[in-house]
Amino acid sequence: MTGTQLRSGAELHALVERLYPICRSITGDGVRQTLDIIGEHIALERHEVPTGTAVLDWTIPQEWNIRDAYVAAPSGERVIDFRESNLHVVGYSVPVSRRMPLSELREHLHTLPDQPSWVPYRTSYYAPAWGFCLAQEKLDALPDGEYDVVIDSTLADGSLTYGEHVVPGRVTDEVIVSCHVCHPSLANDNLAGIAVAVSLAQQLAESQPHYTYRFLFMPGTIGSITWLARNSSRIDKVKHGLVLACAGDPGPLTYKKSRRDDAEIDRVLQHVLRSREHRVVDFSPYGYDERQFCSPGFNLGVGSLTRTPYAGYPEYHTSADNPSFVSPTAMEDTLGALSDAFSVLDRNRRYVNLSPYGEPQLGKRGLYDSLGGRSDAKQAQMAMLWVLNLSDGEHSLLDIAERAGLPFDIVDVAARALHDAGLVKE
C-alpha cells in the first residue's frame, strides 16, 4: 500500500488493518508509528510539544510508552498478555513488578460482565494508576493463588505528538478536518476515520479546491486543546470544520451540529445527507473534539460526522471493535458523503444579478437552447429563474437550492451559465 491512492473501500479497510495492531495513547511512540504510516500516503508536518507546556488550562503530560505487560498464574502461564492485545493494559499504567494474591489483583482488573467474552478499553491518563482488562469469562476461570504482575512501561518527560496535512486552496480561508489518533486497537472509533480522512485529503488535492483544507491527526481532547492554544492567533482563518470518527460501522450516518446550530457546515451537511439514510442531532458539550472547537471562546463552525455515535453501539471501546466490525462499504459511504459535502461547501457562493430590473431575456443569450435535450430541463430552467431572483448578494447558492427545493448541483450549473452570459457576478 505504500504511497498508494486510497480510492476503494477495500484499500481503506486495508489501512485500518495495518494500523490496528499499534498500541496508541495520547502520547508516545504508537502515535508516531501511526503518523509514519499516514505519512506514506499524504505529506505530514509533525509537531512535538514538550511535557510541561501550558496549553490553555491544561498542561502537556509526561509521555507514556509500553514494551510488555502480563499477569502470570501460579503455574507460570501468562493468563493476561499485552502481546495478545494491547487492550489488556489500562492506558497510561505506571510500571509494576510485583507478586500478589488473586484477591489483591482483582482490585486492578476490569471486565464487562454483560459482554463476558469481550475485553474493555480503559485508561488513566491524568492520575497515576495501573490495571489490566480481560474478558469476564477469563476472570471467572482464574484459580486462587499468587500471581506475577508485570507492566514494563515508562512515564517520563517527552512530548505530545500530532500531525497536520494541508491541501492548498485558491483562498487561505480554511476548512479543518480533525480525527483522533490516541486509541489502541479500536477499528471504528479511531482507525476508520483516519483512513477516510487520508483518502479525502488525496481527493481534495486532485480537485484544486477553493478553500484551504487542513487535516489534523491528534490525540483526543488534549490534542485539539494543544492545537487551539498554538493557533489561537490565526483562528480567524478557520471558516468551517468537521470532526470525523466512527466512520466504518454498519449504522446510518449521524451529523452532530456545531454549537452555532446554523453554521454553513451544518446546513451543507444536512442538505447533502437528505439523499442518504441519516440522523441529525443537536450540539452538546460531550463527545469528540467538536466540543473543544465549539467552546465559547472559539465558537467555531465545526460539526461532527460519525456513523453510529460514540457509546451508541455495543462494540464501542471493547475488543469487538476490530477490523471485522468495520466494512469497506460503510467507509466508502462515509467518504462519499464527505466528498459531496465539501464539493457543495467549496462551490457555495453569493452572486449579484447584473440585470435586476425585470426578468432578463434568456432566449437571446442562448440559455434556453442550452437546456435542449436535458432530462432535467424544467428543473434547470427553474434554477436559472431562482438564481436570477435571489442573486442579491445576500443569498448563497445553498440558500437558493433550499428555498427552491432543487438539488445544489443544478443551481450551481445555472449560476455558472448565467455568470458566463454576463447576467450575474460573484
Query: What pLDDT is recorded for position 2?
Result: 40
Whether residue 339 is predicted with pLDDT greater than 90 in this model: the reply is yes
pLDDT of 369: 64
If you ran DSSP here, which 8-state letter would residue 259 be given?
A: T
Give long-range contacts, CB 8 A cutoff, 24+ apart: 257-262.
257/281, 257/282, 257/283, 257/303, 258/283, 258/290, 258/294, 258/300, 258/301, 258/302, 258/303, 259/283, 259/294, 259/296, 259/299, 260/294, 260/299, 260/301
Task: Categorize the per-residue pLDDT at 424 as very low, low, confident or very high, splitting at 50, 70 and 90.
Answer: very high
Q: How would CATH label the architecture of 350-425?
A: Orthogonal Bundle (1.10)
Q: Characterise 3 by phi-psi region: left (phi > 0), alpha (psi -120 to 50), beta (else).
A: left
% of the chain beyond a pLDDT of 70:
98
Q: Please give the distance of CA 70 from its chain centroid, rounded to a whole number.
A: 33
- Given a cut of 60, whether residue 372 has pLDDT beyond it is no
317 is in an annotated binding site: yes
Residue 1 — very low, low, confident or very high, per pLDDT cuts 50/70/90? very low
* Main-chain dihedrals φ then ψ at residue 190, nearest 5 degrees: 150, -75
- Phi, psi torsion values for 393, nearest 5 degrees: 85, -10
Tens digit of pLDDT for each residue in 6-52? 989 999 999 999 999 999 999 999 999 999 999 999 999 999 999 99
Specify the DSSP element, H or E, that contains 244.
strand 238-244
Phi then psi dihedrals of residue 337, to 5 deg: -65, -40
Instruction: Please compute the mean of the pLDDT values over residues 168-194 and round it to a whole number.
Output: 97
Of the pLDDT bands very low, low, confident and very high (cuts 50, 70, 90), residue 364 is confident
Give the mean pLDDT of the chain. Answer: 95
- Is 183 part of any known ligand binding site? yes
Predicted local confidence at residue 365, as pLDDT: 86
The C-alpha cell 507460570 sits at 76
Whether 229 has a pLDDT exceeding 90, the answer reads: yes
Q: Any idea where the domains of the chain sit in the sequence?
A: 9-61+159-347, 63-156, 350-425
What average pLDDT score do residues 369-396 get?
A: 84
- pLDDT tens profile 273-294: 999 999 999 999 999 999 999 9
What does the alpha-carbon distance between residue 121 and residue 308 come to, in Å, rounded to a whole number? 18
Q: Are 162 and 220 in contact (CB under 8 A)?
A: no
Q: Which pLDDT tens digit goes with each residue over 258-275? A: 999 999 999 999 999 999
Alpha-carbon radius of gyration of the chain? 25
9-61+159-347, CATH topology level: Aminopeptidase (3.40.630)
Q: Which of 366, 363, 365, 408 is nearest to 387 (CA)?
A: 408
Q: How far apart are CA 345 and CA 272, in angstroms?
A: 10
Element (H, E) at 264: helix 264-273
Least confident range from 6-20, 96-110, 205-219, 362-376: namely: 362-376
Q: What is the pTM of this model?
A: 0.95
For residue 382, give the amino acid letter: M
> What class is the 63-156 domain?
alpha beta
**Cβ(67)–Cβ(77) below 8 Å:** no
